[in-house]
Amino acid sequence: MPVQEVLVYPDPRLKQVCDPAITGSDTTTNLVRDLVDTMYDSGHSVGIAAPQIGICLRVAVVDVSHNKLGKKHNHGLMVLINPTIIESSGSKTMREGCMSVPDYTGNVERAREIVVQFTNSDGNDQVVRCKGFEAVAIQHELDHLDGFLFIDRVSNPGTDIFKRKH
């Protein structure tokens, strides 16, 4: 499937709460392919969610295995259909960036470890424990499904948002 254009804030579609996806439907299957292709094509992204390409469905993909921060602890490519975080613990502040907010990064506090429940691309229900950078990336992508951007999670916009050096 083709690489899709990534919406950029303040596009209002990025602030919508997404509808559940129908597992196994052609729409969901094609969406997953588009998300994976778009994420890998960027060369630097570790995740992308459906609303970032203008589709308001609860689907995201994450793969931190190619990033130095995710090399140790990762589950490879994760296709998250209708995901829910069912457990979280600890706290970690990391600098986050986003393809939909290309000119800025920000310090965001997230859970250090999570348990996420979702349906994978084969239609199987899964429950996976994630930690570190992978857990942070999943929380970031799941925020997109509820209309949140990392800039909404920054505790002090005056000191914790940074202009990206291009």
Among 5, 96, 109, 141, the one annotated catalytic? 141
Q: Tokens 């060369």 label which residue?
A: 43
Helices of type H across 17-163: 26-42, 132-145, 150-153, 157-160
CA angle 110, 73, 58 (to 5 degrees): 55
| Amino acid residing at 7 | L
Question: What gap in Å lies between CA 127 and CA 104, rounded to an integer?
Answer: 33
Active site residue 141: yes
Strands 101-110 and 113-119: unpaired
Which residues are identified as catalytic? 141
